[in-house]
Structure 1
């Protein structure tokens, strides 16, 4: 029987967990229980349980702290965590320490039985493997040496021969797969080691090849003709091993005939894996996929002006053109990759672009919290996948459009008149505004007249002159105000002022208040 320990601060729940399912039918016997984290640690040391059923929320030393402490001494014990809080963010901390599952209270019997069966199967496989010769473990060590390039030249030929004998020679050869579980700095290495162990168990059970460390990757050497030779089956196995983290990039090389070719095959996969930022997560890719993805990013093209690129995004956000956001981001990304096929360079350029964009928006939208908005720059650097980075940026900018009142739910004429208020000093024309807001200029002109009661040019003049009065009363000179509100010709400004205000601009310089 495998030993089970139950940890919960509530006596009634501990008692209920004894009998909620028939533990013995799955090969488990309740060997002990604990009421808190400290007691659990002490009893674990003596009982050496195979499975711990633990509440995640306990007074004093909680489940997370207890699991972390237990893992320092015991990497093999299986752990299921229980919680009355549907808080995956909190539970993810426990998952990082290699727990087998997360069950919400009240406990569902069927779900607990499924976990018990799965863990019992894993323990049975482990027991069976211990009874077998340690040949597979020795082979993994040789494989790890092989991808590192073996030892001295004198030993190389002998090592290759040893590897070839150990691996045998499957009729359909071998295939090497490199897996990068996730490059997120927020995920602990222990999580990736657990994923590697799970994949090793699956592959060993099917006698489909060998799983070994090829840092920073997990390597799978698949036997040709085995279940691992099926890309669909192999992808399913990798997804199972990845678990709830679920993030990985897998790259499969070409088939080769003998173990002596392993180091060369590994070398051919290393450089393409550096393009993993551009590959879709959760997929098994081939070298041809990498060629397709990187074909449009030759590098060495002139660096586009980041300030100019930021104008594209600014116009989309400022006009509330939500559909243009993802298109603009893709176009910008393409230009940046053409300059430098480097993840770091592209991220840095996007960070600069985003900073410029937020600064420009903050100048026109006082409700924006600069510090809060600039957290998008920090989040950008954490992204491990290019498509996910652009999707995240697009979502954030579309959300920003809503926060500044420019979303598509706001009536179009309200958005346009607000746009004029922000940009009246620029060279505005009905045609350019119609283009930015995706309208036919003739139709927009009719809408504008019906909404405001004025033709576009008349409305623009009135907005400019209203602001001109404010500036004149602040003490600016007439020629300065003319330029500040968008009239390049001061005589033309005088004429417009006289037409709409009935007096010359200097009237307001002398303290006049006529409207």
Structure 2
């Protein structure tokens, strides 16, 4: 069973989320709710939930700011954010805060179930990792190396205080004692890296831990000096010599700057990790040093303004080609955009491509965005995989646009019906508003709507509202005034008159009759 906390400033939505799903059946226990970001932050530190569902826009501290602050204290918490189509700037920010998933408003049950299924898998992995770490603690007596590797995993993955003194960090893991340390991160592309191979080839004392940040990657810590110590460059050369003829492609081996002590090891690990990520992302097998990766970032930062200007223009051209259904030009433009990405960090590229997908989904009214989870794109760590994903996504958009062109009238009416079904509770909904949404005149929309459905827009809206009102009167004890407001009819007298015309009795009489049965 995993624990869940819900953060939402709107009371009815907050309470609705508590009852939204059968959480127990999903293996989840709702342990608390919070009414804004600050309240959520304070309660999270006390309740320590496994999962937090939060709205983005809240007074005071917004959901993303809250998530960032909680992450600093509780790095294993999983976040699902609730966002609207008009909040994609927040969604881009969420990429860099490592938000695990998001659900678009208005929240649909299927979307929430899918998001929770993905997050639960991550929770299970985290719990499994924690359980593995606990088992390692029980095995300390089986060898100093295992104790040392456990301590390194805790240090590098933020599970112990890095401000501790060198003596405190070495307590129970004396095998780690050295004047300095070299760090390698080995990120495989399409092969499994066997620990015994790494230990055998390096030969000298080394410590291996799993890189949680890159699936299948391994970090190698080399104490220096020590008996038969080798440098990080020598160790990398030995491994490349072993793998060159037996693996389909060489792993990316990131090397950090030498750490002057355990307290500096985390920074060296971060450098090696970024270097390995860079090599893996761009398909550079072999050694990638921290200095090389840093120079690449500097090259990109110097021309980022020019790059973004060109990127936005290419995005605009891509949209124009898509709207014109020019398939060849679309593919050529996308290839040029991917080719233009050089030296940019993987997370930055993911953000660009995600933003591109969001922009393109508007061309199909968001329908294309539902065909595949954007989280799938964000989980990718290689540019060719991202390229294939975006290419397939654009192909789906192209097909949707072709269908729209073939069935324009039906498409417009389907959208209007969908809008009415989604917004019938708004008193502002009208023929004029709906016509503006689909970019046609009110008269043309009404004529087209009646031709296809047999009813005017006003009649259809009234029928939907009466149907919803009848259901609420039959199944709830809400006041008539509350039901009228919930279906967008604030004028109670008018509501009662229309309802009586439809059902032959007043709303109050109907509710009393239904409640007695």
Q: Same fold (TM over 0.5)?
A: no
With the shorter chain as reference, the TM-score category is: 0.3 to 0.5
TM-score (norm 2): 0.36
- Structure number with greater Rg is 1
